[in-house]
Chain A
Amino acid sequence: MSIISIRNVTKTFVGITAVDNANIEIAANEFFAVLGPSGCGKTTLLRMLAGFETPTTGEILIDGVDVSTTAPNKRPVNMVFQSYAVFPHMSVLANVGYGLKVTGVPATETRQRAEEALEMVQLAHLAERKPDQLSGGQRQRVALARALVKRPKVLLLDEPMSALDAKLREQMQLELTRLQEEVGITFVIVTHDQDEALSMADRIAVMQSGRVEQIATPEALYESPDSRFVADFIGKVNLLDGQVTGAADQGVTVDVTHLGKVTVPHSGHAQGQVSLAVRPEKIRMTVARPDSGLLVQGRIVDWAYYGDTSHIRVQPASGPPMSVTVQNDTRSTIENGDVGDQVWLSWRAEDTLVLDR
């Protein structure tokens, strides 16, 4: 059974539709991410779950109860704010105990549970500190402990990593995943960072301009995106425009400039103008002409070296340049080509996606 049901929810502010007919079911104990560019409505969606906004139409059920118009302090959810919103006039311990104290939990129990929560986020030694004596990462842990101590049915996280540096972010991502498994409650995280969503979430909802574009597991989103937007938003993708010329056995034949007529597997229905999509790391780059696969010849225009990988741009005879990611799996990989060289790009038909244009 779903712990959260978002049914036909639309939220309009004066003249602006922030969330447009969203339908999302989130299962209990799921780590769910809402991913999208800024202004796509993901934060509004989260604020409706927390109770700071009321849906214009539609309903939100938490654990089977319609909470669409329930006040924030009456909902079984807690939130970690983007700014963390740690109370500056209270000690770390008082911050964590706040939610228990104001709801009438006895003082001794409040203290005990707050200390346990601090233990869980490894901040027990800083209990007496004031927030202004903490680093950003520590403040975030306080915000986490403060929300988790309430034992909510759902924990909401609003862009929790945006204020942390890259190293700390990676560490907190692992820690959040560990915490979620440890406490066994549903996490709903809102983020614009695809790496964050892909690495942490069980399932991801991708949003754009208020609409939910696709809800799927990270693998499914990356390997089988429903739309051009999702393919382009999650990771990098090469898009080759073409024209469907006919249906083949479990696939379609598409006529693409400088690829010719190719047949690629496709389960759905496709006709007219389409785009063939292929991820940069699925492409092989060779000097000699390969025997099989989809082939494009071009000239290397750009070679960006990232240590473990190299990102290379290759300009075919016409059309936009194509991106290729090469694993630097030997120390001599870099000697395999240089800017200006003529190379062949090849990939397998089954690694190609057909997307509507």
Chain B
Amino acid sequence: MESYRKNQRVFWVLAGPGSFWLLFFFLVPLGMVWILSFGEKAVIDGKISITETEITWTLANYVRALADPVYLVIMWKSIWISALATMLCLIIAYPVAFVISFASPRWRPWLLLAVILPFWINLLIRTYALIAVFRIRGYVNFTLEWIYDTLWLDGLFGPFEPLELLYNDFAVVAGLVYVFMPFMVLPLYASIERLDRSMLEASLDLGASQVATFLRVTVPLTMPGIVSGLILVFIPCLGSFLTADLLGGTNATMIGNVIERQFKAANDWPFGAALSFLLMYVTFGALALRALLSRDAEARI
């Protein structure tokens, strides 16, 4: 492994394409958006242009985003919806990952495949499918009605009232959990699979119950997987707009929808860019918080 460090040419051949890609297709455009966030709509012939922008190094876009409570409220709401979806993902994914890692080697690839399978279908189609599930005359309500009628409850309480499951925060959270679940299951599976089984046996042997073993040994030892899963789900949740757009309607707007609207409908790229960067700073904040917490935990033990 030392050889590529000694041989400069090998190093550049291996690292070159990736570095080039990162630089020109990620860092440079990101820098352009950053510069754009300090711009404003150009004034041509005394009129504010609809299409042209001008970089004037103004902070007006940031001031607008931070001063208008509407955007902060939406930002805050996006954070807690994402946090809620992430926690739900963790709660659902942990047992799933556990079962997969403890399944017999013959079954494991198939179970993993079942987790990854939804990726093979377009996100848009999957989200529309959720509409079919959640709508007033959808599968959930259909099933509930069937149970309701089968139990003769309509005789007691009157006819079945379908639940309004769509176009609210519930639908957005459910959609996010559904879409991002594999990102939680896979890192959890990787860390549970690596877990030394004799650690669990040692804990049981020393008199700990199954629950105590889980909380004191399994969870701490799979913490890297848990943290990776939280990050992998929380960050894309925060930036997502399709789910909120289709399932949330007008009642549940996320910051991603606002940004999308600035770039498309409102055609106000500088403001959209400023919002994008504010979102990115929040993400960095979350990552920094996580690093701080893990260092604290390290010091505590």
Contact = CB atoms under 8 A, between A and B. Distances in A.
Interface of A: 50-52, 71-73, 77-79, 81-83, 85, 87-91, 94, 98-99, 102-103, 130, 146-147, 150
A89 B205 contact: no
Interface string B207-218: 111001000110
B202 A102 contact: no
Contacts of B204: 51-52, 71-73
A156 to B, nearest CB: 9
Which are the 5 A-B pairs with shortest beta-carbon distances? A99-B206, A85-B202, A102-B208, A85-B198, A72-B204
Contacts of A79: 201-202, 205
A95 B63 CA distance: 54
A155 B220 CA distance: 27
A102 B301 contact: no
Contact of B221 (A88, A94, A147): A88
Interface string B121-146: 00000000000000000000000000
Given A51-B204, A90-B301, A102-B206, 9 more contacts: A50-B201, A71-B204, A73-B205, A81-B202, A83-B196, A87-B221, A94-B301, A99-B206, A102-B212
Of listed A51, A81, A90, A102, residue having the most chain B CB within 10 A = A102
B191 interface: no
Contacts of A91: 301
12 contacts: A50-B201, A50-B205, A72-B201, A73-B207, A73-B208, A81-B201, A85-B201, A87-B202, A87-B217, A102-B207, A103-B207, A130-B301
B72 interface: no
Overall SS of chain A's interface: loop
Contacts of B201: 50, 52, 72, 79, 81, 85
Given A90-B301, A102-B212, A85 B207 contact: no
Contacts of A147: 205-206
B207 A99 contact: yes
Interface residues of B, number: 18
Interface of B: 196, 198-199, 201-209, 212, 216-217, 220-221, 301
B293 to A, nearest CB: 15
A98 B206 contact: yes
Given A73-B207, A102-B212, A103-B207, A89 B221 contact: yes
A85 B204 CA distance: 12
A102 B201 CA distance: 14
A350 B98 CA distance: 62
Given A102-B208, A102-B212, A89 B301 contact: yes
B152 to A, nearest CB: 44
Nearest to A74: B207
A253 B27 CA distance: 93
